[in-house]
C-alpha cells in the first residue's frame, strides 16, 4: 500500500513537471518565419489585412500577442494571432506583409525569428 502511494506521488510530480516544462516551451520558440500578403478570410473569421500587425500560427489561440524578433537584424514587433498556418514544413509563423516589412525581411521572404508570447 505504501509503495503504491509513493509511486502515485512520484507519477504526479513527474507529470506536473512535464506539464510545466511543456508550458514554458510553448511560450517561446525559434525557427523560420515567412510572410503572406494575399487578401482572404482568416481562420478566425476576420478579413485578412496585409497592413495589420497580425500573424498565423498553428496552435496559439486567436488573439494571442506574440513578440517576433528577427534574429538576423535584431528588429522586433508584436503581432496578434488571427489565422492558422504556416503549412510549409519547417516554418513556425506566417506574418502579414506589414509585419514582415517592419521586421525587415520582405526582400528575402523568410528569416530566422524568436517568438515570445506576451501575457
CA atoms of 42 and 90, how far apart (whole Å): 21
Tell whether 4 is covered by a domain: no
Which pLDDT tens digit goes with each residue over 104-113?
999 989 999 9
pLDDT band at 3 (very low <50, low <70, confident <90, very high): low
Range of the domain at 47: 29-118
Exposed, middle or buried: residue 23 (CB in 10 Å: 0-12, 13-18, 19+)?
exposed
Tell whether 14 is covered by a domain: no
Tell whether 85 is covered by a domain: yes
pLDDT band at 94 (very low <50, low <70, confident <90, very high): very high
How many structural domains is the chain composed of? 1
Tell whether 22 is covered by a domain: no
Tell whether 9 is covered by a domain: no
> Does the pTM of the predicted model rise above 0.85?
no
> Stretch 59-72: mean pLDDT, rounded?
97
Contact 6, 64 (CB under 8 A): no
Which pLDDT tens digit goes with each residue over 12-26?
343 444 444 333 345
> Stretch 75-79: mean pLDDT, rounded?
98
- Predicted confidence at residue 13, as pLDDT, reads 42
- Read off the CATH number of the domain in which 73 is found: 2.40.40.10
Checking if the pLDDT of 61 tops 60, the result is: yes
Tell whether 3 is covered by a domain: no
Amino acid at each position: 500500500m505504501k509503495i503504491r502511494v509513493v509511486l502515485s506521488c512520484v507519477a504526479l510530480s513527474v507529470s506536473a513537471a512535464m506539464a510545466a516544462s511543456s508550458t514554458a516551451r510553448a511560450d517561446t520558440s525559434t525557427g523560420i518565419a515567412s510572410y503572406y500578403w494575399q487578401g482572404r478570410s482568416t481562420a478566425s473569421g476576420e478579413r485578412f489585412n496585409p497592413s495589420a500587425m497580425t500573424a498565423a500560427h498553428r496552435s496559439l489561440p486567436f488573439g494571442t500577442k506574440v513578440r517576433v524578433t528577427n534574429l538576423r537584424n535584431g528588429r522586433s514587433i508584436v503581432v496578434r494571432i488571427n489565422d492558422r498556418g504556416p503549412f510549409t514544413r519547417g516554418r513556425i509563423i506566417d506574418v502579414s506583409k506589414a509585419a514582415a516589412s517592419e521586421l525587415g525581411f520582405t526582400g528575402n521572404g523568410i528569416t530566422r525569428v524568436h517568438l515570445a508570447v506576451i501575457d
